[in-house]
Amino acid sequence: MKFKIADCILGNDVEIKNHLTEVFNQQLLGVRIRHFYPKNACNLVSANFLDSDSVNWFEDKSYGGIGVSIYQVKNSSEYFERLRLERFYLDQLFSGCETTYDSLFNLLVKTSKTERAYNLAHSSFYSNCIVEARSRSRMLHVDIIDEISSQWCIRPRLDHEFSSVVYLQIPDSGGELVVFNKQKGLDHFQHLKFPEKGNNIAVNDSITEGIESITFYPNVGDLLIFNTSFYHKVLQNPANKLRIASFTSIGKTIDDELILFI
């Protein structure tokens, strides 16, 4: 694998397709697509998010909040009810703009066979987007769905997983993404940061000591798609400055189909 994040501009379809193919075939760490989401839409969604009743703030306000929440569900009836409610909140949040999730889906259908998770009867992860604001750093971790999946889930169909991030608001400094050239291995559980809390994702920085890393500096409107089985973290923001981003998970199935889900 090439441990790098390729850089391209929306509209260069051939270059985007080539880089995405490399990422999803695990030949390239990630790709940035500049100008993916219009800046006026970024500003509007950020303002709506901070004013919206749909924002579910954590008790610790310095941690930030999630505008569209993740739910694990037990059956299809609960799943589709959650989906209905969250689509209602998304309509408020994006207020006439195309959602970042739909923008991503439309991009991927141009380059590969792509499905929405909520069209699959056995998915516990509906296909939507999270919008999140944080002022703190995020701990070193990997994102692997089988750590949090329930029995009614999409996990058995997946061969690998990736994350997409659309940057809606960023501070002048801080909030950079750091990715380390190390994937989750047998030593992962020896370095857990909060094993007493049942957290099997966050780890101590010691696991990446001496390991090569890349620091990614985002711009408003950028789309980043990368392989989140590599250890990564987000650096501290300046005091009282929020970064707002939208996340969607991408799964690659054993049949080489891409599935968008949370």
For 207, the token pair is 């696991």
Per-residue pLDDT of the chain (262 residues; tens, 9 = 90+): 999 999 999 999 999 999 999 999 999 999 999 999 999 999 999 888 877 665 555 444 444 444 444 455 566 677 677 777 777 778 888 888 999 999 999 999 998 888 887 665 555 555 667 777 777 778 899 987 654 445 556 666 778 889 999 999 998 888 899 999 999 888 998 999 888 876 778 899 999 999 999 999 999 999 999 999 999 999 888 766 788 899 888 988 888 889 887 6
Residues in contact with 147: Cβ distance below 8 Å, sequence separation at least 6, in sequence order: 200, 201
Question: Residue 1 has what pLDDT?
Answer: 92
Per residue in 39-69, pLDDT (tens digit) is: 999 999 988 887 766 555 544 444 444 444 4
Among 76, 77, 56, residue whose Cα is nearest residue 65: 56
**C-alpha dist (Å) from residue 136 to 55, 191, 227, 242:** 18, 22, 23, 8
CA angle 207, 28, 98 (to 5 degrees): 105
Query: Three-state DSSP class for 143?
Result: coil
For every residue of 124-156, DSSP letters joined together read SS-S--EEEEESS-EEEE---GGGT--SSSSGG
Give the strand pairing for 223-226 and 28-34.
antiparallel
CATH architecture of 2-253: Sandwich (2.60)
- The residue ranges of every structural domain in the chain are 2-253
> Count of residues for the chain?
262
How far apart, in whole angstroms, are the C-alpha atoms of residue 248 and residue 104? 9
Place of tokens 């891409």: 258
